[in-house]
Amino acid sequence: MECNAIRIKNFRNIEVAEIEFDSGVNILAGDNAQGKTNLLEAISFTALGKSFRTSHEEDLIRFGAESAEISLDFTDSSRRQNITVRMMPGRRRRIEQNKVKVSRLSDIVGAFRTVLFCPEHLSLVKDGPGERRGYLDIALSQLYPVYLKSLQRYNQILKQRNQLIRNAEDDRKTFNETVEFWSQQLAHEAAVIARYRAQYLKRAEKHIRACFDEMTNERELPEAVYAGSSHKEPESYEDTEQTEREYFDMLMAHHDREIGAGSTLWGIHKDDIDIRINGRSARSFASQGQQRSLALAMKLAEGEVCAEITGEKPVFLFDDVFSELDSTRRAYLSGKITNRQVIITTCEPSGIAGGKLIRVENGRYTV
Protein backbone atom coordinates (compact mmCIF):
# COMPACT_ATOMS: atom_id res chain seq x y z
CA MET A 1 0.00 0.00 0.00
CA GLU A 2 1.26 3.46 -0.92
CA CYS A 3 0.21 7.06 -0.44
CA ASN A 4 0.64 8.57 -3.91
CA ALA A 5 -0.44 12.17 -3.42
CA ILE A 6 -2.44 14.48 -1.21
CA ARG A 7 -4.27 17.74 -1.90
CA ILE A 8 -5.20 19.96 1.02
CA LYS A 9 -7.21 23.17 1.40
CA ASN A 10 -7.53 25.19 4.61
CA PHE A 11 -6.44 22.43 6.96
CA ARG A 12 -4.63 23.77 10.06
CA ASN A 13 -2.04 26.27 8.75
CA ILE A 14 -2.14 24.83 5.22
CA GLU A 15 -4.02 27.13 2.86
CA VAL A 16 -3.39 25.15 -0.32
CA ALA A 17 -0.98 22.28 -0.90
CA GLU A 18 -0.47 19.44 -3.33
CA ILE A 19 2.26 16.91 -2.55
CA GLU A 20 3.36 13.77 -4.34
CA PHE A 21 5.22 11.03 -2.49
CA ASP A 22 7.86 8.52 -3.50
CA SER A 23 7.30 4.83 -2.84
CA GLY A 24 10.18 4.70 -0.33
CA VAL A 25 11.29 7.23 2.28
CA ASN A 26 9.83 10.74 2.23
CA ILE A 27 11.33 13.36 4.57
CA LEU A 28 9.36 16.45 5.63
CA ALA A 29 12.00 18.87 6.88
CA GLY A 30 11.59 22.26 8.50
CA ASP A 31 11.59 24.23 11.72
CA ASN A 32 9.01 23.68 14.42
CA ALA A 33 5.43 24.93 13.91
CA GLN A 34 5.75 25.13 10.12
CA GLY A 35 3.26 22.41 9.15
CA LYS A 36 5.14 19.11 9.17
CA THR A 37 2.90 17.39 11.72
CA ASN A 38 -0.17 19.00 10.16
CA LEU A 39 0.53 17.11 6.95
CA LEU A 40 0.90 13.80 8.79
CA GLU A 41 -2.31 14.58 10.65
CA ALA A 42 -4.15 15.08 7.35
CA ILE A 43 -2.85 11.77 5.99
CA SER A 44 -3.71 9.94 9.19
CA PHE A 45 -7.18 11.52 9.24
CA THR A 46 -8.12 9.76 5.99
CA ALA A 47 -6.98 6.43 7.45
CA LEU A 48 -8.53 6.62 10.93
CA GLY A 49 -11.43 8.99 10.44
CA LYS A 50 -10.20 11.20 13.27
CA SER A 51 -7.29 13.36 14.33
CA PHE A 52 -4.55 12.00 16.57
CA ARG A 53 -4.12 15.46 18.10
CA THR A 54 -7.62 16.78 18.87
CA SER A 55 -11.20 15.63 19.28
CA HIS A 56 -12.52 19.03 18.17
CA GLU A 57 -12.97 19.06 14.42
CA GLU A 58 -13.26 22.85 14.34
CA ASP A 59 -9.58 23.01 15.32
CA LEU A 60 -8.67 21.41 12.00
CA ILE A 61 -10.18 24.16 9.84
CA ARG A 62 -7.84 27.02 9.04
CA PHE A 63 -8.67 30.18 10.94
CA GLY A 64 -11.10 32.33 8.95
CA ALA A 65 -11.92 29.62 6.41
CA GLU A 66 -15.44 28.29 5.84
CA SER A 67 -14.33 24.71 5.20
CA ALA A 68 -11.34 22.38 4.96
CA GLU A 69 -10.72 19.61 2.47
CA ILE A 70 -8.34 16.64 2.26
CA SER A 71 -8.11 14.52 -0.88
CA LEU A 72 -5.75 11.54 -0.74
CA ASP A 73 -4.73 9.28 -3.63
CA PHE A 74 -3.41 5.86 -2.64
CA THR A 75 -2.69 2.51 -4.25
CA ASP A 76 -3.50 -0.85 -2.74
CA SER A 77 -2.81 -4.29 -4.18
CA SER A 78 -5.53 -3.96 -6.79
CA ARG A 79 -5.88 -0.36 -7.92
CA ARG A 80 -5.43 3.36 -7.31
CA GLN A 81 -8.07 4.87 -5.06
CA ASN A 82 -9.10 8.21 -3.56
CA ILE A 83 -10.57 9.36 -0.27
CA THR A 84 -11.85 12.93 0.01
CA VAL A 85 -13.10 14.54 3.22
CA ARG A 86 -14.65 18.02 3.45
CA MET A 87 -15.25 19.58 6.88
CA MET A 88 -17.48 22.58 7.63
CA PRO A 89 -18.07 24.12 11.08
CA GLY A 90 -21.36 22.98 12.59
CA ARG A 91 -22.21 20.79 9.60
CA ARG A 92 -21.89 17.14 8.73
CA ARG A 93 -18.67 16.11 6.97
CA ARG A 94 -18.85 15.22 3.30
CA ILE A 95 -16.91 12.02 2.59
CA GLU A 96 -16.26 10.32 -0.74
CA GLN A 97 -14.37 7.17 -1.64
CA ASN A 98 -13.61 6.94 -5.34
CA LYS A 99 -16.18 9.74 -5.93
CA VAL A 100 -18.94 7.75 -4.21
CA LYS A 101 -20.51 9.42 -1.18
CA VAL A 102 -19.90 7.66 2.13
CA SER A 103 -22.24 8.31 5.05
CA ARG A 104 -19.72 7.97 7.89
CA LEU A 105 -15.95 8.32 8.22
CA SER A 106 -15.86 5.00 10.10
CA ASP A 107 -16.97 3.32 6.85
CA ILE A 108 -13.65 4.17 5.20
CA VAL A 109 -11.43 3.04 8.09
CA GLY A 110 -9.26 0.19 6.84
CA ALA A 111 -9.31 1.24 3.17
CA PHE A 112 -6.02 3.13 3.56
CA ARG A 113 -3.90 1.74 6.39
CA THR A 114 -1.15 3.51 8.31
CA VAL A 115 1.03 3.04 11.37
CA LEU A 116 1.60 6.33 13.18
CA PHE A 117 4.57 6.68 15.50
CA CYS A 118 5.10 9.93 17.39
CA PRO A 119 7.14 10.81 20.50
CA GLU A 120 4.16 10.21 22.79
CA HIS A 121 4.18 6.54 21.77
CA LEU A 122 7.61 6.10 23.35
CA SER A 123 5.75 6.21 26.67
CA LEU A 124 3.40 3.41 25.62
CA VAL A 125 4.83 1.02 28.22
CA LYS A 126 4.98 3.37 31.21
CA ASP A 127 1.74 5.27 30.55
CA GLY A 128 -1.67 4.18 31.83
CA PRO A 129 -3.78 1.35 30.37
CA GLY A 130 -5.88 3.76 28.28
CA GLU A 131 -2.90 4.37 25.98
CA ARG A 132 -2.41 0.65 25.46
CA ARG A 133 -6.10 0.08 24.77
CA GLY A 134 -5.86 2.85 22.18
CA TYR A 135 -2.92 1.05 20.57
CA LEU A 136 -5.06 -2.08 20.19
CA ASP A 137 -8.14 -0.23 18.99
CA ILE A 138 -6.33 1.66 16.22
CA ALA A 139 -4.53 -1.44 14.96
CA LEU A 140 -7.62 -3.67 15.03
CA SER A 141 -10.05 -1.10 13.61
CA GLN A 142 -7.94 -0.82 10.45
CA LEU A 143 -7.89 -4.60 10.06
CA TYR A 144 -11.42 -5.66 10.94
CA PRO A 145 -14.49 -3.48 10.21
CA VAL A 146 -16.53 -5.73 12.51
CA TYR A 147 -14.20 -4.82 15.39
CA LEU A 148 -14.70 -1.10 14.88
CA LYS A 149 -18.48 -1.49 14.70
CA SER A 150 -18.50 -3.61 17.85
CA LEU A 151 -16.30 -1.06 19.64
CA GLN A 152 -18.62 1.78 18.62
CA ARG A 153 -21.66 -0.14 19.85
CA TYR A 154 -19.88 -0.96 23.11
CA ASN A 155 -19.06 2.69 23.77
CA GLN A 156 -22.66 3.74 23.04
CA ILE A 157 -24.06 1.06 25.36
CA LEU A 158 -21.51 1.91 28.06
CA LYS A 159 -22.59 5.55 27.93
CA GLN A 160 -26.23 4.52 28.38
CA ARG A 161 -25.45 2.14 31.23
CA ASN A 162 -23.29 4.71 33.03
CA GLN A 163 -26.12 7.24 32.80
CA LEU A 164 -28.47 4.64 34.24
CA ILE A 165 -26.07 4.07 37.15
CA ARG A 166 -25.72 7.79 37.85
CA ASN A 167 -29.51 8.14 37.98
CA ALA A 168 -30.01 5.06 40.14
CA GLU A 169 -30.14 6.79 43.51
CA ASP A 170 -32.99 9.02 42.35
CA ASP A 171 -34.73 6.41 40.18
CA ARG A 172 -33.98 2.92 41.45
CA LYS A 173 -37.12 1.51 39.79
CA THR A 174 -35.90 2.33 36.27
CA PHE A 175 -32.47 0.99 37.16
CA ASN A 176 -33.86 -2.34 38.37
CA GLU A 177 -36.10 -2.69 35.31
CA THR A 178 -33.45 -1.95 32.66
CA VAL A 179 -30.01 -2.80 34.05
CA GLU A 180 -30.26 -6.42 32.90
CA PHE A 181 -30.93 -5.35 29.31
CA TRP A 182 -27.98 -2.94 29.17
CA SER A 183 -25.69 -5.42 30.94
CA GLN A 184 -26.54 -8.15 28.44
CA GLN A 185 -25.86 -5.86 25.48
CA LEU A 186 -22.57 -4.69 26.98
CA ALA A 187 -21.44 -8.23 27.79
CA HIS A 188 -22.12 -9.36 24.22
CA GLU A 189 -19.96 -6.66 22.63
CA ALA A 190 -17.28 -7.09 25.31
CA ALA A 191 -16.89 -10.77 24.44
CA VAL A 192 -16.40 -9.98 20.74
CA ILE A 193 -13.84 -7.25 21.41
CA ALA A 194 -11.93 -9.30 24.00
CA ARG A 195 -11.51 -12.18 21.54
CA TYR A 196 -10.04 -9.89 18.86
CA ARG A 197 -7.68 -8.22 21.33
CA ALA A 198 -6.38 -11.52 22.72
CA GLN A 199 -5.84 -12.94 19.21
CA TYR A 200 -4.05 -9.81 18.04
CA LEU A 201 -1.58 -9.75 20.90
CA LYS A 202 -0.82 -13.45 20.49
CA ARG A 203 0.09 -12.70 16.89
CA ALA A 204 1.97 -9.48 17.63
CA GLU A 205 4.07 -10.87 20.47
CA LYS A 206 6.44 -12.83 18.21
CA HIS A 207 7.21 -9.67 16.22
CA ILE A 208 7.71 -7.65 19.39
CA ARG A 209 10.21 -10.22 20.64
CA ALA A 210 12.08 -10.30 17.32
CA CYS A 211 12.33 -6.49 17.08
CA PHE A 212 13.39 -6.11 20.70
CA ASP A 213 16.08 -8.77 20.31
CA GLU A 214 17.46 -7.23 17.10
CA MET A 215 17.44 -3.74 18.60
CA THR A 216 19.06 -4.43 21.94
CA ASN A 217 21.13 -7.60 21.49
CA GLU A 218 20.11 -8.39 25.04
CA ARG A 219 19.25 -11.83 26.32
CA GLU A 220 15.92 -10.63 27.61
CA LEU A 221 12.51 -12.15 26.99
CA PRO A 222 9.78 -9.57 26.40
CA GLU A 223 6.12 -10.51 26.66
CA ALA A 224 2.97 -8.63 25.68
CA VAL A 225 -0.08 -10.49 26.96
CA TYR A 226 -3.74 -9.52 26.87
CA ALA A 227 -4.88 -8.59 30.38
CA GLY A 228 -8.66 -8.67 30.09
CA SER A 229 -10.74 -7.14 32.83
CA SER A 230 -12.28 -10.54 33.62
CA HIS A 231 -8.77 -11.78 34.57
CA LYS A 232 -8.92 -14.96 32.51
CA GLU A 233 -6.12 -16.65 30.60
CA PRO A 234 -5.86 -15.06 27.12
CA GLU A 235 -6.68 -18.34 25.35
CA SER A 236 -10.03 -18.60 27.12
CA TYR A 237 -11.39 -15.55 25.28
CA GLU A 238 -11.77 -17.74 22.19
CA ASP A 239 -15.04 -19.00 23.68
CA THR A 240 -17.11 -15.85 23.21
CA GLU A 241 -20.32 -17.39 24.59
CA GLN A 242 -18.60 -18.28 27.86
CA THR A 243 -16.92 -14.87 28.03
CA GLU A 244 -20.26 -13.15 27.47
CA ARG A 245 -21.84 -15.11 30.33
CA GLU A 246 -18.94 -14.24 32.63
CA TYR A 247 -19.10 -10.53 31.83
CA PHE A 248 -22.87 -10.54 32.31
CA ASP A 249 -22.55 -12.22 35.70
CA MET A 250 -19.98 -9.62 36.82
CA LEU A 251 -22.14 -6.75 35.60
CA MET A 252 -25.17 -8.08 37.48
CA ALA A 253 -23.43 -8.99 40.73
CA HIS A 254 -22.13 -5.69 42.08
CA HIS A 255 -24.75 -2.99 41.46
CA ASP A 256 -24.24 -1.27 44.80
CA ARG A 257 -20.51 -0.89 44.14
CA GLU A 258 -21.16 0.55 40.69
CA ILE A 259 -23.80 2.96 41.98
CA GLY A 260 -21.33 4.08 44.65
CA ALA A 261 -18.64 4.62 42.02
CA GLY A 262 -21.05 6.21 39.54
CA SER A 263 -19.87 4.12 36.60
CA THR A 264 -19.53 0.64 35.12
CA LEU A 265 -16.65 -1.15 36.83
CA TRP A 266 -16.30 -4.22 34.59
CA GLY A 267 -15.81 -4.49 30.86
CA ILE A 268 -13.27 -4.11 28.09
CA HIS A 269 -12.91 -0.40 28.91
CA LYS A 270 -10.81 -1.64 31.86
CA ASP A 271 -8.50 -3.85 29.75
CA ASP A 272 -4.72 -3.58 29.62
CA ILE A 273 -1.67 -5.19 28.03
CA ASP A 274 0.59 -6.95 30.51
CA ILE A 275 4.09 -6.10 29.25
CA ARG A 276 6.95 -7.94 30.94
CA ILE A 277 10.67 -8.56 30.59
CA ASN A 278 11.87 -11.89 31.95
CA GLY A 279 8.58 -12.30 33.77
CA ARG A 280 8.72 -8.92 35.57
CA SER A 281 6.52 -5.92 34.90
CA ALA A 282 8.19 -3.71 32.30
CA ARG A 283 6.30 -0.71 33.63
CA SER A 284 7.74 -1.17 37.13
CA PHE A 285 11.14 -2.75 36.58
CA ALA A 286 12.38 -2.05 33.04
CA SER A 287 14.83 0.79 32.46
CA GLN A 288 13.74 3.81 30.43
CA GLY A 289 15.81 2.52 27.52
CA GLN A 290 14.13 -0.88 27.68
CA GLN A 291 10.70 0.72 27.87
CA ARG A 292 11.45 2.79 24.78
CA SER A 293 12.75 -0.24 22.91
CA LEU A 294 9.59 -2.14 23.78
CA ALA A 295 7.39 0.74 22.63
CA LEU A 296 9.26 0.95 19.33
CA ALA A 297 9.00 -2.83 18.92
CA MET A 298 5.24 -2.67 19.54
CA LYS A 299 4.73 -0.04 16.82
CA LEU A 300 6.89 -1.93 14.32
CA ALA A 301 4.99 -5.12 15.19
CA GLU A 302 1.77 -3.28 14.36
CA GLY A 303 3.01 -2.93 10.79
CA GLU A 304 4.15 -6.56 10.57
CA VAL A 305 0.80 -7.92 11.76
CA CYS A 306 -1.03 -5.66 9.32
CA ALA A 307 1.10 -6.99 6.46
CA GLU A 308 0.49 -10.60 7.53
CA ILE A 309 -3.27 -10.23 7.67
CA THR A 310 -3.87 -8.00 4.64
CA GLY A 311 -0.94 -9.00 2.43
CA GLU A 312 0.09 -5.32 2.17
CA LYS A 313 2.51 -3.21 4.17
CA PRO A 314 0.89 -0.14 5.71
CA VAL A 315 2.29 3.35 5.24
CA PHE A 316 4.47 4.34 8.21
CA LEU A 317 4.12 7.90 9.54
CA PHE A 318 6.98 8.96 11.84
CA ASP A 319 6.46 12.31 13.53
CA ASP A 320 9.79 13.65 14.81
CA VAL A 321 10.65 10.29 16.34
CA PHE A 322 14.30 10.16 15.26
CA SER A 323 15.19 13.17 17.41
CA GLU A 324 13.82 11.34 20.47
CA LEU A 325 15.92 8.18 19.98
CA ASP A 326 19.54 7.48 20.83
CA SER A 327 22.02 6.50 18.11
CA THR A 328 21.47 2.74 18.54
CA ARG A 329 17.70 2.94 18.17
CA ARG A 330 17.98 5.48 15.32
CA ALA A 331 20.27 3.11 13.43
CA TYR A 332 17.92 0.20 14.02
CA LEU A 333 14.86 2.15 12.88
CA SER A 334 16.71 3.38 9.76
CA GLY A 335 17.37 -0.24 8.85
CA LYS A 336 13.75 -1.28 9.39
CA ILE A 337 12.18 1.35 7.13
CA THR A 338 13.57 -0.06 3.90
CA ASN A 339 11.27 -1.78 1.40
CA ARG A 340 8.20 0.12 2.55
CA GLN A 341 6.77 3.61 2.26
CA VAL A 342 7.63 5.94 5.12
CA ILE A 343 6.79 9.61 5.65
CA ILE A 344 9.03 11.22 8.28
CA THR A 345 8.99 14.67 9.86
CA THR A 346 12.23 16.13 11.19
CA CYS A 347 14.04 19.37 11.90
CA GLU A 348 17.38 17.80 10.92
CA PRO A 349 17.16 15.89 7.61
CA SER A 350 20.91 15.23 7.61
CA GLY A 351 20.35 12.54 10.22
CA ILE A 352 18.23 10.43 7.84
CA ALA A 353 19.90 8.80 4.86
CA GLY A 354 18.26 8.80 1.43
CA GLY A 355 14.69 9.51 0.49
CA LYS A 356 12.73 12.32 -1.12
CA LEU A 357 13.28 15.60 0.72
CA ILE A 358 10.30 17.96 1.03
CA ARG A 359 10.98 21.35 2.62
CA VAL A 360 8.24 22.74 4.85
CA GLU A 361 7.81 26.45 5.66
CA ASN A 362 4.66 28.12 6.95
CA GLY A 363 2.29 25.53 5.48
CA ARG A 364 4.07 25.39 2.10
CA TYR A 365 5.83 22.31 0.73
CA THR A 366 8.63 22.39 -1.83
CA VAL A 367 10.87 19.69 -3.27
- Given a cut of 80, whether residue 351 has pLDDT beyond it is no
Average per-residue pLDDT for the chain: 94
Give the C-alpha distances (Å, rounded to integers) separating 307 from 77, 107, 137, 311, 314.
Answer: 12, 21, 17, 5, 7
* Domains defined for the chain, CATH in brackets: 1-113+313-367 (3.40.50.300), 123-311 (1.20.1050.90)
- Given a cut of 80, whether residue 350 has pLDDT beyond it is no
Least-confidence region, from 4-8, 115-119, 194-198, 218-222 = 218-222
pLDDT of the residue at 337: 83
More confident call, 273 vs 336: 273
When pLDDT is cut at 50, 70 and 90, the band that residue 137 belongs to is: very high
When pLDDT is cut at 50, 70 and 90, the band that residue 339 belongs to is: confident
Q: What share of the chain in percent tops pLDDT 90?
A: 86
Contact between 37 and 320 under an 8 Å Cβ cutoff? The reply is yes
Instruction: Return d(Cα 162, Cα 259) in angstroms, integer.
Output: 9
pTM of the full predicted structure?
A: 0.94
- Given a cut of 90, whether residue 77 has pLDDT beyond it is no
pLDDT of the residue at 44: 97
pLDDT of the residue at 152: 97
The enclosing H or E element of 71 equals strand 68-75
When pLDDT is cut at 50, 70 and 90, the band that residue 352 belongs to is: confident
